[in-house]
Amino acid sequence: MKNIILIAPPAAGKGTQSNLLCEKYNLVHISVGDLLRIELQKDGEISQYLKQQMESGNLVKDEIIIEIIKNRLNNVDCKNGFILDGFPRTIRQAEMLDKMNIIINNVFYINVDKETAKNRIVGRISCPKCGSVYNTEIEESIPKVSNVCDRCGSLLQKREDDNELVFENRYNTYVNETQPIIDFYKNKNVLCEIKNLSKMETFNEIQKVLNGDLW
Ligand code: ADP
């Protein structure tokens, strides 16, 4: 059983690595962004608030996130191991997870520089149904059939917040709110940094660590 956290700037490939890891190690993928996108399709005040925050690249209130995560982690399917993609994103969220007494085996910090992340935004398209992520500008990430999800056959979409203007704010939010949690996990000796590698190189590095080669 492995419980894993992925930390990275926006569009660095957390979703892509999560899908590769889930298939290989039979883990559950918990993408907070995807859970929030399901919530915002419902009618009501909260969905209005979520839409506003997410489309502008600001974080959603810790209280809402913590509630969603607690419910999700209580689900029986998490017992065999999970990947947290997009959580924690603030020190407060990391502290809250700590209090839940769930063992976190590995935290991977996928460190991609700002320009690379920004360029990936331009061609990124994702599956609204299964959350798979593709990129029309990167050879190894193009879907087999144009605009159709390889995994579930749904029509791919461009996310509202995947544009250069919102990216700037998402990136700044990441630097201010999320980067501090890197030290939090460094101090717990569970952090591994992977810097500026391609999709498959990143996956190989993660596998080496999970298979015990590096420890
Ligand atoms: P990416 O990692 O590509 O930026 P996500 O799909 O993970 O995108 O998140 C999209 C948006 O959802 C974020 O910009 C933010 O508004 C909100 N969000 C996701 N996870 C969290 C979180 N842990 N705390 C607060 N807001 C979050």
Q: Rounded to whole angstroms, how far apart are CA atoms 186 and 9? A: 17
Q: Does the pLDDT of residue 214 top 80, yes or no?
A: no
> For a substitution probing ligand 1, which of 89, 95, 109, 177 has the most ligand atoms within 8 Å of its CB?
89
Q: Return the structure tokens found at 150.
A: 């390889």
| Confidence band of 213 (pLDDT split at 50, 70, 90) | low
Q: Does the pLDDT of residue 173 top 60, yes or no?
A: yes
Q: Is 203 in the pocket of ligand 1 (CB under 6 A)?
A: no
Q: What is the DSSP string of 125-163?
A: EE-TTT--EEETTSGGGS-SSTTB-TTT-PBPB--TT-S
| Confidence band of 1 (pLDDT split at 50, 70, 90) | confident
Average pLDDT value for residue range 108-121: 93
* pLDDT tens, position by position, 10-19: 999 999 999 9
* pLDDT tens, position by position, 67-106: 999 999 999 999 999 999 999 999 999 999 999 989 999 9
pTM: 0.92
Q: Does the pLDDT of residue 178 top 80, yes or no?
A: yes
**N-term to C-term CA, the chain:** 17
Which domains are assigned to the chain?
A: 2-175+191-210 (3.40.50.300)
Q: How far is the CA of 89 from the centre of ligand 1 (A)?
A: 8
Q: Is 2 a catalytic residue?
A: no
Q: Rounded to whole angstroms, how far apart are CA atoms 79 and 72? A: 11
